Amino acid sequence: MLLYLRPTYLEKFKCDGAACQSNCCQGWQVVFDAATVAKYRELADDVGAEIMTHLEPPAEDGSATLRLKADGRCPFLLSTGLCRLQKEWGEEFLADICFSYPRITYLIGNVLWQALTVTCPVAAELILWPDKPLALEEKEVAPKRLGWAVDLTEQLAPWGDSWRGVIERYAALLGWREHPLDARLAMLLNMAAELDEVTAATALADREAKTEEWLAKMRDFAPPTFTPVEPDQDRGYVEIMAELYSTIYDRAEWRERIPELLFAYRAGKERYNREVWGSYAHIIENYLVNELWLRLYPFAFNGSFLHNIKIFITGWKVMEFGLRLTAITRPEDSPMNRKDTTALIGKLASSLDHNKKGMGTIRRYAEEHWVGMSAADFAALMLGLGV
């Protein structure tokens, strides 16, 4: 029996290819797991052989990459928006990744942690639209099939059960609505740096206890006062965005358009704050909280807590940059509405999550430029804030 932790919105989710134009069945690189590939080979007659013609030759581990059609669609996608494999043989014949999506699942000891990704339009509405803060629920389950799941048991073992408290504390801070969003992100940086100091010199056996002590201390957390840095500081931020967009979104020309991008960024700040942040602050907050849950920040990647939060903030800033430029280039009488904002977040997230150049680009940039950079310096560079 496992303890199942998930956002409350997940209970409402139901896959509906007709409602989302089968977004996940086209344009994405999909790898079928070895067990599923073996199951196809065992099918009678020529059925299994026909299925295998749509897969690349299996790798050494038995997995195989799906060959998309010339139009980029999955060869098993029917005109109805349904999956041929599931319709003819049941969902047990779906590859683990297809069975799981848009669920992202982690196994941590006896805990099954799951969240949905906004790259699924149906899931995006459940995640982004609620006015009330997102919440977690727990129940005991004995799942028949996990599907695609990442086992983090060994990685998080030194933290015992305290890893959950850290993630929940960070999520609660992101929901602290009386503070500007960038100030909340700056607080995350400070918390990450402090937790690094608490745990870095601690023996593995004592790490859980030290983290629990830190969490108890954070109940009386008093936020610092942040002030804007010099106005020209945003040039460095725009240069970073141009560099990241040149790779992630194939915008190589942006490297040569820094002055133009900087002007648009500055000129459109008021309109963005009015039309997007002013109207849909809860959508942005929900996205960030869900992203925290989805990747288990600050335990998502190798490196310090501070390094993880730098990556988390940079991923959001890439998203925000796209939202800002889109908002300010629309006609004045046609501001972004809720559906526009939701669709754009899903589109931008798709390139981050389902493209080898996405989060990998951000991680490489962080490793090349920000290892060793203090929380204060990073906040000044990426958030325009100083203490």
**Alpha carbon distance 353, 340 (integer Å):** 20
**Alpha carbon distance 254, 127 (integer Å):** 32
**Cα-based distances in Å from 373 to 183, 270, 310, 361, 370:** 18, 30, 10, 18, 5
Helix (H, G, I), strand (E, B) or coil at 147: coil
Sign of the torsion formed by the C-alpha atoms of 387, 190, 363 and 97: negative
DSSP 8-state code for residue 132: S
**Alpha carbon distance 140, 334 (integer Å):** 48
Pairing of strands 111-116, 227-228: unpaired
**Alpha carbon distance 6, 21 (integer Å):** 26
102: tokens are 């848009």
pLDDT score, position 345: 93
Q: What is the pLDDT of residues 65-78, one digit of tens each?
A: 999 888 888 888 88
SS3 readout for 238-306: HHHHHHHHHHHCCCHHHHHCHHHHHHHHHHCHHHHHHHHHHHHHHHHHHHHHHHHHHHCCCCCCCCCHH
Backbone angles phi, psi at 156, to 5 degrees: -95, 0
Amino acid present at 132 = K
**Alpha carbon distance 138, 112 (integer Å):** 10
**Alpha carbon distance 318, 366 (integer Å):** 13
**Alpha carbon distance 170, 192 (integer Å):** 9
Q: What is the pLDDT of residues 228-245, one digit of tens each?
A: 887 677 889 999 999 999
pLDDT score, position 367: 95
Residue 138 β-bridge partners: 5
**Alpha carbon distance 153, 335 (integer Å):** 46
Q: Angle at Cα 123 formed by Cα 120 and Cα 128, nearest 5°?
A: 115
**Alpha carbon distance 277, 322 (integer Å):** 13
- Tokens 């089968």 belong to which residue? 22
Helix (H, G, I), strand (E, B) or coil at 70: coil
CA nearest to 318, candidates 248, 266, 257: 248
10-residue mean pLDDT profile of the chain (387 residues): values are: 91 75 71 89 81 90 90 86 84 85 92 93 93 92 79 93 95 92 95 93 87 91 85 85 92 91 87 88 95 95 95 95 90 88 90 81 95 94 88
